[in-house]
Structure 1
Amino acid sequence: MNSDVLTVSLLGPPLVSLRGKTIEIRRKKVRFLFYYLAAQNQPVNREALVNLFWPDDTEVVGRKNLREALSNLRSSIPAVDFLSLRGDTISLNHEVVTSDIREFEKIVLQVRQNLDISQPGAFTEPVYLKIREAIALWRSPAFIPEVSSTDPDPFQSWVIEKGEAIDYWHQLMLEWMVDHSIVSGNLNEAVNWLSQTLLLDPLNTEYNIYMLNCLRDMQAYSELHHFCDRLEELYHSAHMPAVLRETVERVKEVANDPVLERSLVWKDLSKSEVHFTGRNNEMALLKKRLYNNGMVFVQGELGSGKSRLLKQFYLSLEVIPRLVYYQCLPGDEKIPYHALIEGMKKIISAAEWRELNPLFARALFPYFPELSDFRQDLKAEEFANCLQLSHLLPETFYSLFTLLARQRKCLYVLDDAHWCDPESIDVLLFIHKKGGPEEIGTAIVAFCNQCAPEWLTNQLSSFAVERSIDFCSILPLTPEEIGELTFYQVGRKPSAEEKNWLLFESGGNPALLIGLLTQLRGSEDFLFYKDNFQLTDELRDRIKKLLHSLNPVQREILTAAAVMGEQFQVDQLRYLVDLPMKQFIRELGNLQQKQLLRTCRFTPQGEGLEFCHGLVLRYLEEEIPAQQKWLYHNRAVETLKSSGNFQIENLFSIARHLHLANRNVEAFDYWMEAGELAVRVGKPDLVNRAFGQALALADIVYEQCTDEAYYHLVRTWSDFAFDVGDMSAVVQIYQHARMVGQARRNPRIQGFAESGFALLQSLSGHHDFAMQSLEQCIAALARAGEKEELVRSYGIRGVLKTLNGDFWGAQSDYQIVHRMFA
């Protein structure tokens, strides 16, 4: 946001600020004029302003007063040209002035326009986020509270009407969010909205019952006891409705079960989940820090199992600490100290709230208005004055932590902290830096490193050397752990090759692995899907979430990397994206930090990069538009050629990109060159891969692939395969050559295939069939005048005669070969 933007906050005690500093407008009517203009969406006629603020004066006097007020207003805020005067109308320049009330009304309009696409009780995601954004703007129910009966009647009427309209929409939105959360099954969030709703209407029977039932279903029994006590106090001088009384008695019976202490505040603690495996080192670190006090920051990629690790750690404890738990939600980052307050208000008793130092209680009051329910010394009219004590909040929370840890060890767990407000993290670091760890207990903060905002990573790096702070990185699952989880998910142990494939596709990410295994359940051979695996909608959604935090530049680099393939060299990738070198290196490092790319041994001589998750590579390959993919592949070819590196791996890459760019004739030539180089260095697997690709392309480029080129391919490959004893490859080559020779009506290729099969028949013990085949082959080749293949056939027949003991016949064939060479 521009630092010179003037901020006007009216949804609570009015506040005008510029560059983070409060601006004071001394004259009351001038303030009111500014507030009124800040709440308008359209320019206001001067006559209307005169009638609003000086209704008893003549028009001439009123306009004079208005000019003086505007002049005074400009003097109060000289640094910004915030007024827009056009003809007889006046407005604020909204390019340099922002107003929370205008933003609130803008969202109200958007929500009203979209209500027809939302089902009652459950909203679409865009509508939900908009309502949440609007509620977050609200600071207190008082709209311009300093207006009194001595102020102009028209302005008083406007303030009352505007305040009632805003109150109506605020209350209605809170009720919508309650219904949405309950219908969606998110009881933790429902309790949050119910708390805000009941703050405005504490005797609402329907929502008090909702609150009781939500707390019961969440097994938040400590908070349930507190809420029941609060209801008794509220209805002390009034009759509690019978239906509410019955609900209170019923939930109290459930809450009095002493064995349920573990479930006081943890969301979904008893929910059944998939098998928990591994994480022994992480569990040991958490237990060590719990016993020694201090802080642990747990970081891992989305779906790595951070929340499950924290839950399993808590369940494993024999001695239960006093738990303060909060799982952050999107939007929490906009509400100062929200994470701390939400966690603490579930566990701190009314007596402990009353024990808090009065000055600290006043500092906390603007951020936790419900505090007035527990303390008689806090009054609503002091709300604005308490805002001036915000500098005391770190000490306030320190005092609360010492209260919590006074009776027994305290454990504060903050999950999904990438959505946490910066103020809560600052306070936690302040507390653990300031005090003795034994006084404040242990804090565990978990966040997704792909979603972590820059302020969080910068803050953590500055505390990396603190002895009382540990960092715990969630590592990918090992092949052994993948095997164990696979057994529990699909009911059978995978082979070593299957485990390696599952590890490659999932990257050891538990969430991706479970999604993958869900699709593979019932399959007897996972590797059947290795080359034809199709992403399900569930896996697509998981991968989208994994990539959600990428900026456009990072997305472009990752897309280009997907075109390069599973592994690639950085300098080659560099030429596919048009970015300055420094920016490219920085964003490539960010992709590695987000655990999407990692270093690998690309060639024996140097390192490259590879995808951490095969599923992400599959997803990106499917998502790239055909035209963009074609351009990338052509650019990759030119990049690889210009590198001057023509080792086997590079030849493979060039051939692959040529094929994907539909330049198949050139691709055939490069596969041939790669295969011949692999023959020279004696690499059977690379020979089979290169020549196999060339053979497949020979069918595609049938007309462009000459008989000579095809013969050279099958002859070179079969000779090498025979030498290394790869008979399955030999059979495959002869079968293909027989088919192609017949289709092309080429005696040479046909003779090559038939003489080869004759040799195989002889080696299988079928000498008579072999000799008969060779006789027919030699006759056909002689008629066609194919000398080279005829020599080969006579040589093979000589070998077979030798094996059969016909030495004179063999000698005759060898003499024929000798004469033909001569």
Structure 2
Amino acid sequence: MLLSVRLLGPPEISFEGRGLKFGRKKALALLCYLATEGGRYPRRELAELLWPKSDERRARADLRSILTRIRKTLEVRLLAIEGDLLGVEPRGIELDLRTLEAAVSLARSETSQTSPGESKDHDAVGRRDLIAHLEETLGTYRGEFMEGFSLEDAPEFEMWLEAERARWRGVFGELCERLSRLQAEAGRLGEATETTRLWTRYAPLKEEAHLRLVELLSDAGESERALLAYENFRGTLSRELETEPSLRMRELAECLREEVEQRASLGTSLARSAATTSPLSALEVPFAGRQEEFGTLVSEYHACLSGEESRVIAVIGEAGIGKTRLAKEFLVWAKARGADALEGAATEGAGLPYGPLVEAVRPRLEKERAPDDLLEDAWLSELSRLLPELKERYPDLPPPASGEGETAKGALFEAIARTVGELSSRAPVVLFLDDLQWADATSLEVLDYAGRRWAEQGAPVLLLIAARSEEPEASSSFERWVPSLGRSMPVRTLTLGPLGNHDVEGLLRHLTNTDSEPAGIPEYPDEKPEGSDKVRAELERFGERLAAETGGQPFYFIETLKALLEEGKLVVRTHPDGGGVLGVSPALRVQSDLSRLLPHSVREVIITRLSRLSPTAADLLAAGAVLGRGFGFESLVGVASLEESEGLRGLDELVGRRLLLEEGGGREGEEGPPMYVGATYSFSHEKIRQVAYTEGGQARRWVLHRRAFEVLGGSGASPAELARHALAG
């Protein structure tokens, strides 16, 4: 068994799990000194270190006394005595200092193998294991070296203590810094932030630690928290050292202030309804729940800059899941750091050739003082095919020289590629194209061409594209196009899912100002301000119901709040600091059934999705709406009264459009339509089931319930379930 020596934090010596007490502080001091320093030391030197005010004879006698005490306490041969030299056997102790030092060496070897922006060919499993090991080591850090221990009558030992504390503080800081970078590279920004917070806790005056924390919060899209971390550090420096942060950190803070202002405007604008003015438009809807995805965008942007290469990020998700908000928040971040941001979008049914690119490039060239300095006249002339206003601005432009057909097309492609490429020579370019599942084939073709040209030039262009996942027909050409784009430059795909319950509840806390409610400001008109703890508890329960009802779908969340505002169950009041705060009625906080609440805007979005279904898929969905939750394929086709082959085609469509979710089971059959075996199906969102159920009409529901009663009657359904269908049919 090894003797455990833990010196990070208050010193602890234990053997076989039993703590050892030495009775005299200097006995503990000697053992800790020898364990830390290693090697062998003359008795005279050790005696002078611990008893500097005693003569040599007395000091050596005291040393012999504590050596005897150490031997009796340890009960193991640990002391190494060679004539006049003393030490400890390193193989006999388990020292937390060694564990920390070894972990830092491992982290150094890993982080030194690659530099930021370079491709990393390391084994992903090995990297995860390393991070787990470093995190475990970090957990052994209980505090400063020999925290709380001192020998006032031994000044040289005190000097040694202070030097060791500074040394191990630095080793701990290096571990935090390197671990946080590994965590961030792995896309774990939350863990990286917590690691850095731990670093700042033990190094309150070290700018490197606080700068890292501010950068990580900023990279996660949390500008407000990043700015707060900066202000806290600035206040500490002013208080303790009467100084201020470095110029680099002050400049970063200015960028953050600009981001916070732009995000406040963006959050307010996104709360507004295009059709009606809602009281919710007075509120700032915060950016929440996408920190990891935002961190990925930031990481790809940095890689684009440091590697001098173009990159692509495809953000995929259903309508209303937050693709556009994520992209626009990132554009705010990038513009604050000097990037040139271009924005365009494809439109359903428009099919205009080059439409998204024209929308992105036109406003940028309008701001350009001298486009003829950006492009040669020949390329401006080609570009004027899409932007005829260039001819008005430059009437002397020569006519396009490329003629017609494929030659003209190639020249136009080159003009578009050159425009963005030249802009990127001045500043990094982020080209954001939204709803690209609706893009025409020509737009995709020119992006493919331009991507190859940017990659050849090493142009710092980040192509950020967003597309819906529930439109298989519209996005089929898009889905084929993305892999082809990956042949010329790196492509990263981000698939957005619903927000977690914690994020939805956090949004509600922000909107209701629950975390920092000033005294005397009630949550709702005419409500007494006392009992704030009770109000918070009720709001927390309401937040849980709201999260469950909206399923974490951001669009459903906002539209549900609007509907509750229209019903008077929510109000927007003015906060003393300006802006709006959401007030929740006591009745809604305590007891509220949100399941019957279906905002008109949500209904319209769902109806639009359902209108694109084939007749077979629509029949299956109506049957599923009647069956409810967790139904099998045989029940579904039986209630829909469809042949098995028809049902399989319709089911593929519903699963492909993310209207139904498949759980368990599998598919069989290598030829022909796949056979769904043993799987159960449920609606991807309860609101979709509600709309599918009501849109079918009363007569169809009556028929479907009657069929459900007949089909389920022979499958062992519960009496309650059969009774439900019998009463409805």
Q: Report the TM-score when normalising by structure 1.
A: 0.43
Higher-RCO chain (CA-CA 8 Å, sequence separation at least 6): 2
More helix as a share of residues: 1
Q: Report the TM-score when normalising by structure 2.
A: 0.48
Larger radius of gyration: 1
